[in-house]
Structure formats: C-alpha cells, structure tokens
Amino acid sequence: MNGFAVAVFLQVMHQTVAANGRSDETTVAGTLGENIILPCWNTATNVTPSFTRWMTNGQFTIERNHSIIIPISPSEGHLTILYNQSLYINRINLSDEGTYLCDSLPHNNKTQTSLTLQIVSGPDNSIIDIQPATPLSNGTLFVVRGSTVSFNCSSLSYPSQSLSWGFQGVASSNDSLAVGSGSWLDFRIEDVQPTAQGNYSCRAQNSISQKAAGSSTELLVYYSPERHPECLWNTGKDPSHVQFSCSWFGGYPSPTLFWGEKHQKSGSHGKQVAGQLMESEETDNLVVNLNRSLLFDGQILKCSGHHPTISPGEDKFCSFTLKSPYPEGEPLVTVVEGTNVTLTCTESISLPPALTRWQRTAQQEDVVSSPKYVLSEQGPTFTLTIVNITKQDEGFYFCRSENPLMVRELEIYLTVKATSQYTGAIIGIFLAILIVGSGIVIAKTIYSNRDRICLGNGFEQMGERGDVLSLVEADEEEVFHEAIPRLPPLPLTNGHNTTLVEIHTIPSIDHEDAEILEHPLQLEDRDIDELVTF
Ligand SMILES: *[C@@H]1O[C@H](CO)[C@@H](O)[C@H](O)[C@H]1NC(C)=O
Ligand SMILES: *[C@@H]1O[C@H](CO)[C@@H](O)[C@H](O)[C@H]1NC(C)=O
Ligand SMILES: *[C@@H]1O[C@H](CO)[C@@H](O)[C@H](O)[C@H]1NC(C)=O
Ligand SMILES: *[C@@H]1O[C@H](CO)[C@@H](O)[C@H](O)[C@H]1NC(C)=O
Ligand SMILES: *[C@@H]1O[C@H](CO)[C@@H](O)[C@H](O)[C@H]1NC(C)=O
Ligand SMILES: *[C@@H]1O[C@H](CO)[C@@H](O)[C@H](O)[C@H]1NC(C)=O
Ligand SMILES: *[C@@H]1O[C@H](CO)[C@@H](O)[C@H](O)[C@H]1NC(C)=O
Ligand SMILES: *[C@@H]1O[C@H](CO)[C@@H](O)[C@H](O)[C@H]1NC(C)=O
Ligand SMILES: *[C@@H]1O[C@H](CO)[C@@H](O)[C@H](O)[C@H]1NC(C)=O
Ligand SMILES: *[C@@H]1O[C@H](CO)[C@@H](O)[C@H](O)[C@H]1NC(C)=O
Ligand SMILES: *[C@@H]1O[C@H](CO)[C@@H](O)[C@H](O)[C@H]1NC(C)=O
C-alpha cells in the first residue's frame, strides 16, 4: 500500500446543501495509510465547546471533555479529537471506513450531520506481464515473429478501478486494445508480426479517486534471416589479396557474423581443434581482407551467423576450402611450320578462382591477343592459338595461373618442324639412297636406332632433328603426350613465402621408349597421306 504519507487527502464527493448552508450528508474519501481530519459541523456558532463525542456506524467511538488538557499529541493515537472538535485519524486503515457522527455540548438544535468516510487506495503495483518474451539489457522485451503472445496487466485499487491497454507503433499513434475493470486485464496476439512492434501501455484508474497510473513496455518483434549465410569472394587490389564476404540478409535485428578458420582433424589423434576467429561483427555483411601470408591450400574458411532468435547451438554457417591453382595440359607440343597450333590449358580446381594467362619465352612475357595469337577461354579451358607457325615460335610457353594462395605454371615446349617439300624431298632421296645403297642390314640398324633419334635427351636435340623426325611425328602431338604420366600435385608449403611459383617439370621420357614405339608405326600411314596432300 501506498506508505505513510503525511499529506491529507480529502475530497468531497457528494454534498447536499441544507437550507442553513451546512451539509446534512457528506462522503469523504480517505487514502489508505494516510491521515485525515473529519470536521464536526454540529457546534453552535461562536460557542466554545465543552464536550465532544464521535460515533462510528452508530457506535460510540471516542469522546473529549475540553476542560481537560490532553497531554498526548495527535500523531500518537489512531483517533484524536482536536481542540475544534474535528476527528483526526492517523494512518487510515480499512476498518476506519464508515459513517461518522459528532455530538457536542452545549447542544444546538440543528440537524445532525453525518460524514461517510470512503477509503480509497491505488492504483498501485501496476505490472505489465508479456509472455513469452525475452528481456534485453535495457529492459526492452522481444518476442519471435509467429509466436502467440499474451499480455496481462494487473494493478491494485480500492474499491475498484478501470484498466486499459494502449498501443503505439510505427503505424498506430495510440490504439486502444482492451478496456476492463477488475484486478487484471489480459489479451493475446496470435502469430505476432513486425507490425505489432511498439510500445504497449497499461493505464489503471481508481474509480473513486480518479487517480491514474500507467506503465509502458517497448516490445520488439524479432525474426531470423530465412536462408543460410552466403560466403563469397572478391579479388583484392592485387592477386595476392582476397576479400571474403559473408552475407546473411533478411533478419531483424542484424545477425552477428563470425569469420574464422576451421581446423580439420589434426594428427592421428583425430582431435578437433577449435577454429580461430578472424573477425566478428553485428552486421548483415561481414568482409575480411586476407593476403597470401595467411592462406594455405586446404584451409577451410567458415562464416557462422548467430541471431537472437536462434539458440546458440543451432548457428547457421557457410564455408569453403581453399585450393591452389593447378593448370593442366600437354607439356610437349610439336607442330609443322606454316600451320596453326592451339595450346590448351585447363584450370578447374583453384579456389578462389585463379587468374590464368599465357606467357612465352624464358622472360615470361605476357601473350597478348593479336592476329598472331588468338586467345580464348571456355569455362575452365584456356587456349592459345598461334597462327602461321614459324621457326621463331619454337620455345617455351607458360600457362600461368595465380590465385590469392600462390602462382603455379604449366610449362609447354613447342617444337616447330620445317615442312617444305624441299625438305621432304631431301629426306626421301636420303632414305632411298640409304635403302638402295646400304641394304637391309644398314636400314635395320637405322630403324633400331630411330627411337633414340625421336626421343633424344633434350629439347635442343629434338629441335635440331625436327626435320628428320617430321616423317614419323608430323602434327601428332599425342605421340608424346599420351605416354607422359600426369604429374601428381606437388606438396605445398604453408604459403608463408611471399612468392610461390611452381612449374610442372617434364619428366625424363627415355624409359618410356618401349610404349612410344607403337605410335610411330601407326602414324606412318597417316604421314604418308599428309605428304600426298602437299
Ligand atoms: C480544526 O483544526 C485543525 C487543526 O488545527 C484544522 O486543520 C481544521 O481545519 C479545523 N477544522 C475546522 C472545521 O475548523
Ligand atoms: C468536564 O471536566 C470538568 C473538570 O474536570 C468537570 O467539572 C465537568 O463536569 C466535565 N464535564 C462533563 C460533561 O463531564
Ligand atoms: C486499523 O487500525 C486500528 C488502530 O491502529 C487497529 O486496531 C486495527 O486492527 C486496524 N485494522 C486493520 C484492518 O488493519
Ligand atoms: C433549542 O430548542 C428548544 C425548544 O425546541 C429551545 O427551548 C432552546 O432554547 C433552543 N436552543 C438553542 C440554543 O437555540
Ligand atoms: C533497447 O535496446 C534495443 C536493442 O538494442 C533497441 O532497439 C531499443 O530501442 C532500446 N530501447 C530503449 C528504450 O532504449
Ligand atoms: C494476470 O496477472 C494477475 C496478477 O498477476 C494474475 O492473477 C492473473 O491470473 C493473470 N491473468 C492471466 C490470464 O494470466
Ligand atoms: C495512449 O492511450 C493510453 C490509454 O488509452 C493513455 O494512457 C496514453 O497516455 C496515451 N498516450 C498518448 C501518447 O496519447
Ligand atoms: C517507445 O518508447 C520509447 C521510449 O519511450 C521510444 O524511444 C520509442 O520511439 C517508442 N516506440 C514507438 C514505436 O513509439
Ligand atoms: C598480410 O596480412 C598480415 C596481417 O593482416 C600483415 O601483417 C601483412 O603485412 C600483410 N602482408 C602484405 C604483403 O600485405
Ligand atoms: C590459321 O588461323 C587463321 C586465323 O585464325 C585462319 O585464317 C587460317 O585459315 C588458319 N589456317 C589453318 C591451316 O587452319
Ligand atoms: C605466314 O608467314 C610467312 C612468313 O612470315 C609469310 O610469308 C606468309 O604469308 C604467312 N602466311 C599467312 C597465311 O599469313
């Protein structure tokens, strides 16, 4: 109850004015716990009273002989008759409610005037209860979209009160949601939507004293983003930098995103090591900038999103596993002068995607598109067509693939052979002379040594002997390539060097002779066809 206020609350509710100007019946409201003075109007004018008696509900309550000085002060007793006959009630309680009548000596002949004391209290203890709702640190509550929310407002008033619920949202200035009397008033919202977000106020008003009290609560309606977070990458300011972005839109409020590194099972113990956090923020879109020194092949980057509407164990995430570039293609290509040749390189595993381009010569100059060089790109396949091959086109070509992890190159050696009929004629004559002049034994010797001629120990030799080889190899790159085993991926360092360039090396192919032997035999027929067309 409302404490022990010293103030006197006195309100005249109803008065019937008698002909003599005095009231014959009066209701007085007294606030519970406070003090009140009830006047005695029965005293004859200008007469000093000698004796006063107060009756409550027809029963004798207290009297006072004014010739006797009372040593006690009014605040000590519950009821005191003051010098002017008024009744002082200290700290009104409910049992004080009733009709009071005063009587005094000397008597006067007026109508007796009674006073009705009405006790009032409240509204007190106004409480807003919203269920189920979660409080934030500042006291604001939130509920989850789609849930059913009950609102209950309670307040204590005596003898009665009226209660009302009001709502103030973005679209509603002050809507009345419910009105009632009683000690509490409730209502429900089913399938609560963001439009229900706003301030809910409950007002309680004492029906006797009209005293009002209210309380208000801010309610937020939260909802989680519908899908999973999305992990994306953007190339940075140069190929050794990368921007990983994680976005998770559509939630309220914004989720908290965490970019981290997820460790795979480490060692034989299979122990799961906690991921290392790189960055976190309360945002829809979190971007981290990383450079080569922090990245390595096989690294798993993971973005987890947390939202207040999702329990911490059910965080949603996206991730990807980084892969170094690995350009693949045929490392040895032989071509006839005057024709066109197309070099092919496939880069399909790099993540983030690599920047792949062609370079040539030991100086690794970029190959730019021109009538001589036709560059094209189809999905993961990059091709370089060299038009009208000349001897100057012979040499190294590089398919250079770079992603934020590292640079890796496929090295291709292009061998150019002369094709002139002149050369063909010389070879023809030369072979004829050998066959006719030296006989089968010598021819057999040449034949048995042919593989060594074909597959000499170095490119230089091959280049020099191109003319001789043209008969058996012309235009058929497969001769070599089918026999060269694919290189296994080279073991990677952890990417702590600033520049990592790996080049596919061409393995020694001497020991492959036996397998390759078959191809020249098959190709000889085709070679003859081609020679015929010249
Ligand atoms: C009686 O005395 C009290 C205290 O002095 C005063 O507050 C009250 O107004 C007086 N009542 C009348 C009817 O004069
Ligand atoms: C009031 O007190 C005086 C003095 O004690 C006494 O003479 C008188 O009779 C008393 N009056 C009443 C009505 O009792
Ligand atoms: C009201 O106050 C009187 C006097 O102090 C006390 O005797 C009585 O028990 C109280 N009644 C209630 C309901 O508190
Ligand atoms: C009250 O009335 C009676 C008769 O009805 C009269 O004798 C008496 O004088 C009156 N008293 C006063 C104070 O007016
Ligand atoms: C309480 O905090 C929430 C979220 O931080 C905010 O949206 C709301 O406006 C705050 N309310 C008040 C009254 O400060
Ligand atoms: C509302 O609150 C009051 C007081 O706490 C309680 O007595 C009443 O049962 C509640 N009403 C509902 C519907 O929960
Ligand atoms: C809104 O209405 C409630 C009760 O209906 C009232 O208590 C409150 O003061 C009003 N607020 C405004 C800003 O009008
Ligand atoms: C709710 O009340 C708070 C503080 O009183 C205020 O900052 C906020 O703007 C109100 N919200 C609405 C929707 O009226
Ligand atoms: C790469 O990033 C790390 C950490 O942010 C930084 O210390 C380092 O200087 C960066 N290196 C380069 C080359 O930008
Ligand atoms: C070589 O390429 C050029 C340009 O694309 C083309 O005009 C020409 O016909 C091609 N020659 C052969 C033999 O394919
Ligand atoms: C190919 O190059 C040679 C030598 O540069 C030139 O003579 C010939 O005209 C070129 N052929 C074509 C089709 O461009």
Residue nearest to atom 14 of ligand 2 (CA): 65
Report pLDDT digits (tens) over 243-277: 999 999 999 999 999 999 887 654 444 333 446 78
What is the per-residue pLDDT for 288?
Answer: 92
Is the predicted pLDDT of residue 11 greater than 60, yes or no? no
Please check whether residue 447 lies inside any domain of the structure: no
Check residues 244 and 42 and name the one with the higher pLDDT. 244
Check residues 436 and 488 and name the one with the higher pLDDT. 436
Q: Residue 402 belongs to a domain with what CATH number?
A: 2.60.40.10
The residue out of 417, 436, 464 marking a domain boundary is 417
Report pLDDT digits (tens) over 338-354: 999 999 999 999 999 99
Q: Tokens 């002949």, residue?
A: 109
DSSP lists the bridge partners of residue 373 as: 386
Please check whether residue 428 lies inside any domain of the structure: no
Ligand of minimum distance to the alpha carbon of 186:
6
What would the mean pLDDT of 226-236 be, rounded to a whole number? 89
Contacts of 518 (CB under 8 A, 6+ apart): none
Please check whether residue 327 lies inside any domain of the structure: no
Under the banding of pLDDT at 50, 70 and 90, the label for residue 16 is very low
Check residues 285 and 486 and name the one with the higher pLDDT. 285
Q: What is the mean pLDDT of the chain?
A: 76
| pLDDT > 70 in the chain, percent | 68
What is the per-residue pLDDT for 437?
Answer: 59
What is the 3-state secondary structure of 455-506?
Answer: CCCCHHHHHHCHHHHHHHHCCCCHHHHCCCCCCCCCCCCCCCCCCCEEECCC
Q: Residue 301 belongs to a domain with what CATH number?
A: 2.60.40
Range in 111-115, 246-250, 316-320, 427-431 the model is least confident about: 427-431
Do 152 and 244 belong to one domain? no
| pLDDT > 90 in the chain, percent | 52
Is the predicted pLDDT of residue 378 greater than 70, yes or no? yes
48 lines ligand 4 (CB under 6 A): no
- Contacts by residues 518-524 (CB-CB < 8 Å, ≥ 24 positions apart): 519/476, 519/478, 519/479, 519/482, 519/483, 520/450, 520/454, 520/472, 520/473, 520/479, 523/472, 523/473, 523/474, 523/476, 523/479, 524/471, 524/472
The residue out of 417, 439, 469 marking a domain boundary is 417
Do 337 and 408 belong to one domain? yes
Ligand of minimum distance to the alpha carbon of 218:
8
The residue out of 222, 245, 277 marking a domain boundary is 222
Is the predicted pLDDT of residue 329 greater than 50, yes or no? yes
Q: Which of 136, 168, 199 to mutate to test the pocket of ligand 8 (most atoms within 8 A of CB)?
A: 199
Range in 5-9, 332-336, 415-419 the model is least confident about: 5-9
Do 528 and 495 belong to one domain? yes
Q: Which amino acid is at 374?
A: V
Q: How much is the pTM?
A: 0.65
Q: For residue 125, give both structure tokens.
A: 């203890």
Q: Which of 374, 386, 387, 475 to mutate to test the pocket of ligand 10 (most atoms within 8 A of CB)?
A: 387
Gap from CA of 88 to ligand 11 centroid (Å): 127
Do 252 and 207 belong to one domain? no
What is the per-residue pLDDT for 427?
Answer: 56
What is the per-residue pLDDT for 22?
Answer: 45
Number of domains in the chain: 5
Containing 260, the helix (H) or strand (E) segment is: strand 256-262
Q: Which of 53, 65, 105 to mutate to test the pocket of ligand 2 (most atoms within 8 A of CB)?
A: 65
Gap from CA of 387 to ligand 11 centroid (Å): 9
Is the predicted pLDDT of residue 127 greater than 80, yes or no? yes
Domain hosting 397: range is 332-417
8 Å CB contact between 116 and 25: yes
Check residues 502 and 78 and name the one with the higher pLDDT. 78
Please check whether residue 444 lies inside any domain of the structure: no
Check residues 4 and 106 and name the one with the higher pLDDT. 106
What is the per-residue pLDDT for 514?
Answer: 35
DSSP lists the bridge partners of residue 259 as: 279, 303
Do 234 and 216 belong to one domain? no
